[in-house]
Structure 1
């Protein structure tokens, strides 16, 4: 049996999925991102391989994605984040046609065909107020752990309003709310509501469909999921490990690419010379 790897090098973490020819996940890992992308990607890959009981030589194809995808010399192909997230979400929830991906530095709304092929997409502007990094800054100011903000937000009884589209001004609003005696729970829910409103605008521009799937690290926060569902006025799909969607999609596309190469009677190019890139399709 052949095995492939999908490596997603994000702003906060590196995620790896090891998949076999039957499209079953055999191993996975998550490692905190460091500036030296190659060693940290290798570290994450080794951890996933260890879980799968495999060696790197057992891999027939490696696909990378994420903002650091070009910095992995042992890859076979690099693929855009939007393409990978779409494929990963469709694999997890086959009936979905709308995907929202909120990570540390960006938010993306993607409209997809059956199977995960991209139809349309929109991304947020460069301001940090529209992505997960804003939640981290708010949590730091409020002196709470990021992993706790979801549970705090969901306990809110009177969410505060955070309307500024600029991260700096939004942080000033948070300071004002604290000075006025607002609770941490209500402020964090205000942060989540602000992100949900921005997400709705992106989704409408990409094309809102009946079934929406929420992926990315921010999807782990229960309060954010609740805020999004109330804003969209519908339930959203959330996997148990929503941050793995990009790596999952990369692995699926690696397997598809490998199958195509085999069908054409070719062999995968020797690493690390291959520098092919798959564009958004």
Structure 2
């Protein structure tokens, strides 16, 4: 059984192709303005190394910010459910998921493999990848480097603001005072971890904790969040794909629950669309 999950996030789009319990391929690309075209192109790219064509897919589930713009998906599922399912498949002992994405931060409780309570910050850039991106630009550094640089600090600077605008001003003030960049970044990551901790604590943090999203790739954020929680956090080998992975797992279950006649109608109904979607001359 060949199935797919596609997660169109605010900044990154991910696809996971699975056959039964095996992941055959994953693709991660930046999210552009044209979600529908991106969905077509990234699905085609995900299938390139697999000796099957688009019509062979038994079921496709879309999730994420742009899930409604995946017209060839058989259904759409919320990102909360998909992230939980993907993480639980990787870490069966997970009780708390902390997902730090480009535009939001989520905390999800997992109970017996099902979604419990959850909380999300999507009204402010603080606590998200966008916040870190703005700060790295302010300091003239690469986003992928700031976490490692923060670990070089001997004494984290006091950063009291986590609002993006005020944090920029405070960072510039610390620079003018001669505070080393590593200490500024350490203080910033410490403050950011404190903000995330305060938000997720509202749903009660329990072991095991798994951290996902782009924020999980930041060594400084991982360290200070683990320090604040009081025990280590687990990180998937590729923390960006858990939503797409969960979507693929749900797709497999839905395909298994359909009788053979319905599966055939789903695939034949998608075939005509696939000719249009993958037309190189569009």
TM > 0.5 fold call: yes
1:143 and 2:140 matched: yes
Match of 1:237 in 2: 234
SS at match of 1:129: coil
**Pair 1:50–1:200, CA change in 2 (3 A):** same
Deviation per CA, 1:108-162: give whole Å up to 9, x if none. 00001122x1110011151111211110000001011111112112222211222
Equivalents in 2 of 1:154, 1:55: separation in Å? 46
Question: What's the counterpart of residue 276 of structure 1?
Answer: none
Please report how far the alpha carbon of residue 54 of structure 1 lies from its aligned counterpart in structure 2 after TM superposition.
2.8
Query: What per-residue deviation string (whole Å, max 9, x for no partner) do you get for residues 205-257 of structure 1?
Result: 11211210000011011111111111111001001210111111111111111
Deviation at 1:272, TM superposition (A): 9.4
1:155 aligns with 2:152: yes
Q: RMSD over aligned Cα, in angstroms?
A: 1.7
Instruction: Find the counterpart in structure 1 of residue 262 from structure 2.
Output: 266
Counting matched residue pairs gives 269
1:156 counterpart SS class: coil
Match for residue 125 of structure 2 among 124, 128, 147: 128
Partner of 1:33: 31
| Aligned position for 2:278 | none
Tell me if the contact between 2:162 and 2:192 (Cα under 8 Å) persists in the aligned partners: no
Mean Cα displacement is larger for which, 252-261 or 187-196? 187-196
Report the equivalent of 2:225.
228
For 1:156 and 1:32, the matched residues in 2 are separated by 31
**Structure with max Cα Rg:** 2
Between 1:193-202 and 1:6-15, the stretch displaced more is: 193-202
Gaps of 5+ in 2: 273-282
Of 243, 250, 254 in structure 2, the residue corresponding to residue 253 of structure 1 is 250
1:112 lines up with 2:110 in the alignment? yes
* Structure 1 gap ranges (5+): 274-281
8 A Cα contact 1:102 1:108, kept in partner: yes
Q: Secondary structure at the match of 1:236?
A: coil
Partners of 1:181 and 1:253 in 2: CA distance: 53
SS of the residue aligned with 1:122?
strand
Native 8 Å contact 1:177 1:187 kept in 2: yes
Q: Quick one: distance in 1 between partners of 2:103 and 2:157? A: 23
